Structure 1
Amino acid sequence: MKLGVNIIGDIARIMEAEVKAGEKAVTTAMRDAGTGLKSAWRAQITGAGLGTRLARTIRSEQYPKGRPSLNAAALVWSKAPVIVGAHDTGPLIRSKDGFWLAIPMPEAGRSIRGGRISTGEWERRTGMRLRFVYRRSGPSLLVADNVRVSKSGRVRENITRHKDGRISSRLKGRATAVIFLLVPQVKLPKRLGLVRDARAVESALPGMIVANWEETR
């Protein structure tokens, strides 16, 4: 039995067209994969109740830029990797100096920069000193003495400042308010599964390349 092979057309031109089709297919598939993974991660973050602001830190980029390539790649990342990574892994958080983590209560208010306020900032802003209360069972406390707590939850110093410079303390409404809880460590709950989405996109990528590969004639 004899077999014969006939090449119809210019082999060099055929190969060149096939390479271009492959470059286009790989580049398109990588672009779609990067965009899809970015959307999936953003949806996870908002679905976990972490807010749209954190979700918008997820970005994607394609390489090389501006031209198709068989070696095209997509990069998906967060501009807030520490925060996103913490919610993805659920780490055990300890104080840097080995003492306490101060968890602000609602009465502490928020930082002027947004987010949680520190003990130092609270004392500077209010002009009041915090008192440490050790508890054998349960978290220890940082409290503010001789204060008034308004209906809105704001803590004010329970004193009257007179025009002549005298300061007198009011007896009515005087209270001690818990401003911070002190704990040795906190286990952050795992709220995201970013690797799951990344693996799903990785598994779908070969099929995406084939689907975008146009036949050459």
Structure 2
Amino acid sequence: MGEKITFMDVFKNSFTENFSQLSISTIVLSLGITFVLGLFIFFIYKKTYNGVLYTKSFNVSLLLISLVTCVVILAISSNVVLSLGMVGALSIVRFRTAVKDSMDLVYMFWAISVGIVSGAGLFLLGIIGSAIIAVILIAMNKFDYNDNAYLLVLNYDNSADENKLLESIQSEAKKCKIKSKSFHKDQGELTLELRLIKENASFVNKITKEIGVSNAMLVSYNGDYTS
């Protein structure tokens, strides 16, 4: 009668035997390709960034996220038992940093995906996928929608004719929508969302000459507004 194999024997074998599957060449190749693809993401992010303030530290973190993810996937793929422990350890990690731009979230997922596919040895998928994503991002960045939104903030007093002001503004805009209005002690503030017919802000000077208008400010608007 053959030797009886217990669960502990299977556990020990799965924990000790599979570590030899990862060679130095495999590790160097995976991390090397991940590093190259991470640099590619770094330059694409810098080229296509349209925000107000470019943050180099966030861009560098995209490269590091790719490398760290690759290391994790290499460790998980080398041993089943280790992968279970690592999943449990990573499940307690909580990230509370707010992502202000939705495109930053796209780049984070891209960096994580590069680390996953490179760690799994799917190098061709990582290279082709990154190339296609980069082409789409650059093409969309170059495409001019010519439909920029603006916020117009007006300060005025009792002597101002609101109807006349709105008619003057609407003649310059494809779309005009009131976002907020307040009036306190003979001083009012009106905030409008505008879609201009032409990218020409000279009409703001005309509005400031209207009777009762003390101040007019036009700012670019990305939709993040609360009143």
**Which TM-score applies when normalising by structure 1?**
0.31
Structure with more strand by fraction: 1
| Structure (1 or 2) with the larger CA radius of gyration | 1
**Larger relative contact order (Cα-Cα within 8 Å, sequence gap ≥ 6):** 1
TM-score, with structure 2 as normaliser: 0.30
